[in-house]
A and B are shown apart, each in its own frame.
Chain A
Amino acid sequence: MEPKQSELLDVEAIRKDFPILQREFDGTQLVYLDNAATSQTPDQVIDTIADYYRETNANVHRGLHQLSQEASIAYENAHDRVAEFIGAEGREEVVFTKNATESMNTVAYAWGLAELGPGDEIVMTEMEHHAALVTWQQIAKKTGAEVKYIPVDEEGYLDMDAARELITDDTEMVSVVHVSNTLGTINPVSELADIAHDHDSLIFVDGAQSVPHMPVDVQDIDADFFAFSGHKMLGPTGIGVLYGKEHLLEEMQPYLYGGMMISKVTFEDSTWHELPWKFEAGTPVISQGIALAEACDYLDDIGMENVEHHGERLAEYAYDQLSEFEGIQILGPPGDDRAALVSFNLGSVHAHDTSEILNDFAVAVRAGDHCTQPLHDKLGIAASARASFYIYNTKAEVDKLVEALEETEALFA
């Protein structure tokens, strides 16, 4: 039976906005299934960047000449647009960074180094991305705090009973990935936020894989901090977002110092600019921020609920098709309960071999540990291959993945 195609998205029209999808390698058209690593960029976003440099480019000194004023207003408004996209109160709560990783480091350094010490605990999950895992691990080493991990069960879900035991009054920070970039698990982050808050702990949610793919409201989640990257949601590289509750950002000292982030400077001392600029030292990510706002517009035009449904349907279809392969190992929850990605190992074929052969068929997937090395260690595997989907992918492309995998299987039989 034909699985339901997404009636919600006009994929054919969407694909027209993404010129890169027309690329061919030796006559075979690209099948881009590496969206969890980086999404492609629509003309609208590319044009925004080009127009910015053609028409508006200036430094954002808030100021004195016309171009600078225009650039400043566009850059500031981009913060408002992103705030709206994730349900933040306003631009005060939205700091632009280089990527999700820098957003995490900002909190780890600005808040963690100041607040953590021996006896304090940081609770993460075994499915945490290195961006959070390595960062908190190292901050713990610097401060004498201890790191604990909420286990992942057989099916790829968090053990919530264990979470309730691990999060205690000693916990100062709970740092959890919203959607696992390896397992595709969608974690109950608002439940975790409640548990954290019951123990007067803060919660940092890594939304790198959720914001691009589903409606997210940081206030509904009740996240204290929240991070994501522009390049996974149709935006350019070089832009990430740190959301923080205003009172927390207000209390924190800056992590980077320099121009733009100051209010008054003397030879002896300095005071800080208002939020969010206090955390944006130096010339900021101007064109990237403005382009990210455009990406938010593009996604909202489609509707984040539609984006979510489309991704889930493709993931479920892929999960079902891949399950047909003998000896395949699929990581994470069942097909009808996962985000828009499927990680797998085809029998004993190494993931790098799989992806290299898929590349011969112009099918782009990621292979490796996906920056979740400890999770792979726990699963007893060195690597996995991962197909990840977005708004422009089709069932026909999943079929091409499956055909290429059949060839791989035959080659290694």
Chain B
Amino acid sequence: MGIGGSDMYRQQILDHYKNPRNYGEIEDATFTHVGENPMCGDTIEMDVVLDDDEQTIQQVAFRGDGCAISQASASMLSEQLHGMPIEELQEMDRDDIIDMLGVDISAMRVKCAVLAEKVAQDGAEIYFGEKNVDKTTTEEE
């Protein structure tokens, strides 16, 4: 592709955007949470099922709408979350997401990239009573 070599739209991202993994709903999710990135109008809603011991993520599904970065990031994250200890999810930060995406994300788009991660983290915190928000936004990112 052209100049910036911004390979932000490498095959992998486009593949996840066009064919999102774990897209849909889980009826009996342990918790469900929603978030948005007002700048792009991206939304992500995520269902998470925890193991009986409530320490490990068993299953994840998401649905959403928005730019390729936000949706591909949700799809890729949903794959990573399977079997992940909650503790590990809470320790994730933007660098982990950028590593996961495997491309340079321009500063303006970091919000889009981290939306799914924030939704999963906030959802867990709310479930464990550590936080109280209706909706996650990536406004102040």
Q: Any chain A CB within 8 A of the CB of B129? A: no
Contacts of B4 in A (CB 8 A): 25-26, 359-360
Interface contact A353-B68, CB-CB below 8 Å: yes
CA distance A25 to B3 in the complex (A): 6
Contacts of A28 in B (CB 8 A): 2-3
Q: Contacts A350-B68, A382-B41 known; A357 to B9 CB distance under 8 Å?
A: yes
Contacts of A357 in B (CB 8 A): 1, 9
Interface contact B2-A352, CB-CB below 8 Å: no
Q: Any chain B CB within 8 A of the CB of A327? A: no
Offer 10 A-B interface pairs, CB within 8 angstroms, sorted by A.
A26-B3, A350-B68, A352-B109, A357-B9, A360-B5, A360-B6, A362-B3, A382-B66, A411-B9, A412-B18
Interface contact A360-B41, CB-CB below 8 Å: no
Contacts of B1 in A (CB 8 A): 357, 360, 407
Q: Flag B101-118 by CB within 8 Å of A: 1 or 0 each.
A: 000001001001000000
Q: Any chain B CB within 8 A of the CB of A84? A: no
CA distance A411 to B72 in the complex (A): 15
Q: Which residues of A approach B to under 8 Å, CB–CB?
A: 25-28, 349-350, 352-353, 356-357, 359-362, 368, 382-383, 404, 407, 411-412
Interface contact B39-A368, CB-CB below 8 Å: yes
CA distance A398 to B103 in the complex (A): 30
**Residue in B closest to A352 when the chains form the complex, CB atoms:** B67
Q: Contacts A368-B39, A382-B41 known; A353 to B6 CB distance under 8 Å?
A: no
Interface contact B40-A350, CB-CB below 8 Å: yes
Interface contact A356-B8, CB-CB below 8 Å: yes
Interface contact B40-A356, CB-CB below 8 Å: no
Contacts of A361 in B (CB 8 A): 2-3
CA distance A359 to B7 in the complex (A): 12
Contacts of A359 in B (CB 8 A): 3-4, 6
Q: Any chain A CB within 8 A of the CB of B126? A: no
CA distance A412 to B68 in the complex (A): 9
Interface contact A350-B66, CB-CB below 8 Å: yes
CA distance A359 to B1 in the complex (A): 11
Q: How far is the CB of B108 from chain A (nearest CB, A)?
A: 8
Q: A26-B2, A352-B112, A383-B40 known; 8 other A-B pairs, CB under 8 Å?
A: A25-B3, A26-B3, A353-B9, A353-B69, A356-B9, A359-B3, A361-B3, A362-B2
Chain B CB within 10 Å — which of A27, A352, A360, A383 has the most?
A: A352
CA distance A27 to B41 in the complex (A): 34
Contacts of A368 in B (CB 8 A): 39
Q: Flag B2-44 by CB within 8 Å of A: 1 or 0 each.
A: 1111101100001000100000000000000000000111100
Contacts of B109 in A (CB 8 A): 352, 356
Contacts of A353 in B (CB 8 A): 9, 67-69
